[in-house]
Structure 1
Amino acid sequence: MKTFPKNFLWGSATSAPQSEGHSSQNGKSATTWDYWFQTNPEKFHENQGPENTSNIYEMYKKDCQRMKEIGLNSFRTSISWARLLPDGKHVNQEAVTFYRDYFEHILAEGVQPIINLFHFDMPMWLMEKGGWESRESVDAFAFYARTAFELFGDLIDQWTTFNEPIVHIECGYLNGAHYPAIHDFKKAVQVGYHTLMAHVYAVQAFREVKPKGNIGIILNITPAYARSAEQADQKAKENADLLTMKSFLDLAVKGAIPEALVQLIKGHELTPETNPSDKEVMKENTVDFIGLNYYQPLRVQAPENPRFPAQDPEDLYAPYDWPEKRINPYRGWEIYPKAIYDVAMMMKNEYDNFPWYVSENGMGVANEERFMDEQGMIQDDYRIDFMKEHLDYLYQGIQEGSNCFGYHTWTFIDCWSWLNGYRNRYGFYRLELDNNFERHLKKSGLWYKEVAQNNGY
């Protein structure tokens, strides 16, 4: 029996834009996703847009009961900035009523909510002013954060600022998967810097509004593994870790951007515009905990013909195709459970054993109806095996002293996933899109309930 620490969080995560639905209703204004789907629906899998998603807006009361039914003791979701503050200034009272009732129902089931502020859903009114490219976004986000803390702080003690901030930077300004889908390394760095500062000022607002709560940030961790021990390959690994992992992690935990990253950016003429007071504000507003999302590692090697100054991250580290890799064929991601142990040791040894939890881990699979039994239950043993393998390594890290306090899966109910729509399913509950959004429990949900009840397996 592998027993986890007392009061360990067993939960799941989702987000407002991927689960709520009612995206153009109830006073909510458009986000970049609403706009992009309206203007370029062909980019979205099977024309599945953000309007309805999983319809939690209507079904949250029963869904909160479902959380308890599968043993969750914690749950992360987000608030929609565009729903709460449709114009960035004035509160949408209908949104306040919805979120308060939603959170109260979560609490009533004995589930601890962790509420996130931003999950890739930039309001279109701010995007039209430049989005994260503009310093105005920092103040706008801080105002939104303060508003949320004031409106819901009596209910919610655990908060996070951003989910996977590296993703909206890379996908929006380097690889085309998020709006505005441009490729500009210099803009990407500026967007990243403003996101960092938005996080910092949101933490500052939190300390002023709710000094007794806890606030963190959710980061996607893709630990870099070099092709070889050769110096050039090791330099590529260092560059990858600095850009994709330590940029936000060091800022959040240590209160400063790594000097090696500052010099790397400067050396390639990518230094962003900053304010003189920024460093002091960073130093004063570190977090209470870190959430780390882990799905896949990053295999790197030295670039063969890098451009200088760099025009793309691949001029600093090139992808390496590890011949021994094991792949999830549906998502195209490597399955490498040992990395979660390496992450646990990193948090212990490089970050003074700072408190952290696995805020997402999961396996997306297409056409899951193939695995439905005669009673209509998806027999997703592959998902159970995936979780077991990762939990084995997480358990090892905890046994060796890493200060990990929870494990959350992605996700609770099958949800909409950006340009991928509903191609890959991750949930403990299957969502029937063509049948009034009915939810049906999968085998993995029953397994997870046992794990949560036993605090181990």
Structure 2
Amino acid sequence: MKTKKDEKDFIRRTAFKVVMAAIASLALLLAWGMRKPATVAVIPAASLPSDFIWGVSSSAFQSEGGEVNSNWELHKKPPVDREPYGTSVDFRHRYREDVTLAKQLGVNTYRIGINWARVEPKKGKIDAAELAYYDDLILALKQAGITPLITLDHFIYPSWVSAQGAWTNPQTTTDFVKYSRLIAERYREDVHLWITFNETAFYMFFEIDSRQMGFKDFMSMRKNLISAHRQTYDVIHQVDKQAVVTSNIVWVGDHFGSALLRQFTNWMFFNGVKDKCDVIAIDYYTADLITAARTGHHWKWPPQPAGLYRALKMLKSEFPDKPILIAEVGMATENGQAREDGAKREDVLRDGVYWTQRAKADGVNVIGYMVWSLTDNYEWGSYTPRFGLYTVNVRTDASLTRIPTAAVPAYQEVIRNAGVGADYQPVLPQ
């Protein structure tokens, strides 16, 4: 039987969601009315420096597989439109194979995640076997000559954190900072690149929906996540004074409608931590995320590599004194099939590198280009979107064989030559 308090809470939650939807709708309407961005002259691209970060990116949950008692298992609202998680690509047991593939690509950096739900499955109880797994993963990277970049929270936390109210409870901030100190101290000799929270604003949108939050809970979550990043930043720098710590943001676009959404998402989290970010880390998938998201499918998002140039230039104007790291860049296909728009993974990759080189030559202090992802993985409920340089047919191939796409030799050549050649002409239109 519903009480008056239940009814009031329902009204508050509904009103909050209406406001959030109105902001998104206004941004979309403004996006529709904008002109196409001005084209940029195609000129020879200078090579990138020898210390440039060439990498691949991944997340723990999406690639590891196996039973993990986390928030992802707990917050399944009917009707559940998700594929079973299962083994994913079994990175948990095949990480040495994948590290070898990364070495063969020639990358010098591999973004990995450490899953808090694995490390601390019960509050205060650290799982030594799972830490040993991460120990050996980092050792494998070290032996391969590859620098690890660690993400501490990639949308996943232990079920006991969920039980205590997740990020609406300030205790979760305390617990997260304690966990982060454990990881930072354990890997202080081998890890100097850190991301605290992945795409935090969109993480918050997911939490609002999955936990049925109202405005008060949202504001508590916002405060606690900002505090967690700020404290973790300080902890990591206490442990390693040379550490580079940040939290990556999603590029949503450069027209006025996207700028409105970007200002809102920055307010949600990034504005509260930007003074404690050593680099600006961005995830770039399309020039206009608002319009792209309307398609409903990752594989229909137009990749638009030239938009990366505009994004980098805009970020330089906003943060002139900070280096910029492309923490994720990639393109999806539907089950590995040819895309309707004809875009090919290898062309999108080369074009993205070209526009990165152009931005660097034009004075943007861009320090790295990290492809999402080395292999296909579990794209938050589905194995249909394929982002991998290596295809893995999770549904049909019990051996989970890593099958190279045409982007593998393309990336090898790009890395070997410190970029595309001076005579390179972008394939995709601006």
The answer to whether 1:400 aligns with 2:430 is no
Which residue does the alignment assign to 1:282?
none
- Over 3 Å counting, the alpha-carbon distance change for 1:40 and 1:155 in structure 2 is farther
Q: Which has the higher contact order (CA 8 A, sep 6+)?
A: 2
Shift of 1:159: 1.4
SS in 2 for 1:43: coil
Matches within 5 A, 1:33-432: 33-36=72-75, 42-44=80-82, 47-49=83-85, 51-173=86-208, 176=209, 179-180=210-211, 182=212, 184-226=214-256, 239-245=260-266, 247-253=268-274, 255=275, 286-298=276-288, 330-368=298-336, 382-419=344-381, 421-432=382-393
Name the SS of the counterpart of 2:392 in structure 1: strand
The separation in 2 between residues aligned to 1:381 and 1:106, in whole angstroms, is 32
Do 1:133 and 1:191's aligned partners in 2 also have CA atoms closer than 8 Å? yes
1:160-199 deviations in Å (ceiling 9; x for gaps): 11111111111221xx4xx33x363553343223211111
- Verify the 8 A CA contact 1:79 1:115 in the aligned structure 2: yes
SS of corresponding position for 2:189: coil
Q: What's the CA shift for 1:336?
A: 3.4
Shift of 1:409: 0.9
Q: Which aligned runs of 4 or more in structure 1 are off by greater than 6 angstroms?
A: 325-329
For 1:381 and 1:349, locate their aligned partners in 2 and report how far apart those are by CA, in whole Å: 30
1:438 partner SS: coil
Cα deviations across residues 70-123 of structure 1 (Å, max 9, x unaligned)? 221111011000111112322211112110110110111111110110000021
For 1:288, the aligned partner's letter is D
Identity of aligned residues (%): 23
Shift of 1:251: 3.3
- Supply the AA of the counterpart residue of 1:426: F
Q: CA deviation at 1:238?
A: 5.4
Pair 1:326–1:392, CA change in 2 (3 A): farther
Give TM-score scaled by structure 2 length: 0.80
SS at match of 2:388: coil
Deviation at 1:246, TM superposition (A): 5.6
**How many residue pairs end up in the alignment?**
372
* Partner SS for 2:227: helix
TM-score, normalization: structure 1? 0.75
1:10 and 2:46 correspond: no
Q: d(CA) in 2 for partners of 1:346 and 1:42? A: 39
Q: Which runs of no fewer than 5 residues in structure 1 stay unpaired?
A: 25-29, 227-235, 256-285, 300-318, 372-379
User: RMSD in angstroms over aligned alpha carbons?
Assistant: 2.6
Deviations 1:246-266 (Å, cap 9, x if unpaired)?
A: 65444333x3xxxxxxxxxxx
Please, which runs of 5 or more residues in structure 2 have no aligned partner?
1-43, 421-430
User: Deviation at 1:330?
Assistant: 4.9
Separation in structure 2 between the aligned mates of residue 96 and residue 143 of structure 1, nearest angstrom: 15
